[in-house]
Amino acid sequence: MKAPQLFLAVVVVVVAPVIANAAPPTVTEFAIPTASSHPVGIASEPDGNLWFTEGATNKIGRITPSGTITEFPILPSSSPVGITQGPDGNLWFVEGSTNKIGRMTPNGFLTEFGPTSGAGPDWICTGPDGNLWFTEEPGNAIGQITPTGTITEFGVPTAGSQPAGISAGPDGNLWFVEHTGNKIGRITPTGAITEFPIPTANSSSNRITAGFDGNLWFTEILGNTIGRITPSGTITEFPNPTFGGNNDITAGPDGNLWFTELGGNQIGRITSSGTITEFPVLSAGSEPSGITAGPDGSVWFTEFVGNNIGRITPGCESVTTPKLTIGKLTTPPGDDTLTFTGSATLPVPFDPPLDPLSDGVVLRLADTAGTVLDLTIAGGAFANPPNDGWKVNKSKTKWTYTNKTAAPASGIFSVVIQDKSAKTPGLVTFTIKGKKGSYAVPAGDLPATARVVLPGHCADASFPGPAPAPHCAFNKSGSTLTCK
């Protein structure tokens, strides 16, 4: 619980993307102060900002969602590459030239660990075991480092495979790409490695990420495709419409995957069914490199040659008759209630059909101070035990998630998604309910906005006020906030 008044963004991601948004995404660029810095990796951090590596000038950069950049120097000739949010609230990055792993606090304090002799660390991610995991491209190994700095290394079975990108998977394992080995690798938290050959020969796979659909998605630079691998190892490839030199990839805030085209100078978007749309970067020859989803509902990327940080914001539909109510704001924390309802008309036909029963839902709630709620509700039929899950009606037009356990995650106990296309093509309604949660909002942050993201689409509602325009208002006691 916090004091009244609000700027609020509510995101519901039903993970089964449909066709392109009605409004095209918008691209914005922010120049990095240091010339020719060659930015590479970028990651969203708990402080609400984006952090990136400057490979040529040995700095770590921080950019706010409004575009203000601050740079922090690190040791000379370190050549930082990959960067990620750590389990300890710090940012962790790899130093390709010094064979070290760096840790930086949000205020810029640097600690280094290593060296891992001859390793050439390339990419890094946080694992499900609370440790950091990184690839050693020339060292041909996968490394694990604890938050206190203890390093363990595991050799990749295929000689000279050059492991590159790495990501935590939905199955509790780590997944990585073998740049020259032309395989996708899976490593358990205890170090057991399994490899899966990529169908396209000499594909030069480069980066990998977990998608909202429960699979892993990866880029192929020379293969010019985006690959998808299931946790059981089945690989499907989707070719680019143009030659792009696909480099990095991330799960976007709209339920799609977004990737950089280093050679094509474009940002690509791919739905879970494989439909690819490409968007040009503003600066010619900028070579977009790293990419990540930001805390502001946008996708952020680095421009290796253009020396910019780019932001691409998905175009959104408008929410019709939205209503957001947060209650019990004046009682002790942990007992707040939440109800959010509305509807949006999405492009039809849906591609693929909506199926929260299989694909689940992601809920995200944020205010100007950062994320209030970020919750993934997995797919799966209702079962008892554990007394939660999804049900769908016979016509497969209404999906209801119910959680009857003693302590639902983040207090969300009910989600209803309904497809009303039979009456109005593309009309989808939603209702989200929570109780015994912490949906606290700070004072003085009006006007309010709300966002709903349904399969590959997003819809925005704004409450700019004052009345009679859409607005937010508290009751006399300040215990309930209503935006409509």
Nearest CA to 37 out of 51, 50, 55, 60 is that of 55
User: pLDDT tens, 219-233?
Assistant: 999 999 999 999 999
Residue 7 has pLDDT above 70, yes or no: no
pLDDT higher than 60, residue 172: yes
Amino acid residing at 70: T
Q: What's residue 432's pLDDT?
A: 93
**5 or 255: which carries more pLDDT confidence?**
255
pLDDT at site 460: 80
Q: What is the pLDDT of residue 347?
A: 81
What pLDDT is attached to residue 374?
80
Q: Residue written as tokens 């660029």?
A: 29
What are 116's strand-pairing partners?
A: none
Considering only residues 440 and 466, tell me which one the structure prediction assigns the higher pLDDT: 466
How far apart (Å, rounded) are the C-alpha atoms in residues 319 and 458? 9
The whole-number pLDDT of residue 23 equals: 63
Render 160-210 in DSSP notation, one character per residue. Answer: T--EEEEEE-TTSSEEEEETTTTEEEEE-TT--EEEEE-SSTT--EEEEEE
* Domains along the chain with CATH numbers: 9-16+316-483 (no CATH), 26-313 (2.130.10.10)
pLDDT bracket for residue 21 (50, 70, 90) = very low
The yes-or-no verdict on residue 158 having pLDDT over 50 is: yes
What average pLDDT does range 168-178 have in this prediction?
A: 97
Torsion-angle region of 387 (φ positive above 0: left; ψ -120 to 50: alpha; else: beta): left
Mean pLDDT computed over every residue of the chain: 89
What is the C-alpha separation between 395 and 370, in angstroms, rounded? 39
- What is the pLDDT confidence band of residue 244, given thresholds at 50, 70 and 90? confident
pLDDT above 60 for 19 = no
81 pLDDT higher than 70: yes
Q: What is the largest CA-CA distance in the chain?
A: 69
- pLDDT at residue 97 above 60? yes
Contact 268, 246 (CB under 8 A): yes
Is the pLDDT score of 6 beyond 70? Answer: no
Mean pLDDT in residue range 93-111:
94
Measured CA to CA, the distance from residue 45 to residue 63 in angstroms comes to: 11
- Specify the pLDDT at position 471: 87
Residue 353 has pLDDT above 80, yes or no: no
Helix (H, G, I), strand (E, B) or coil at 459: strand
Residue 455, pLDDT score: 61
Q: What is the mean pLDDT of residues 398-417?
A: 95
pLDDT at 217: 98
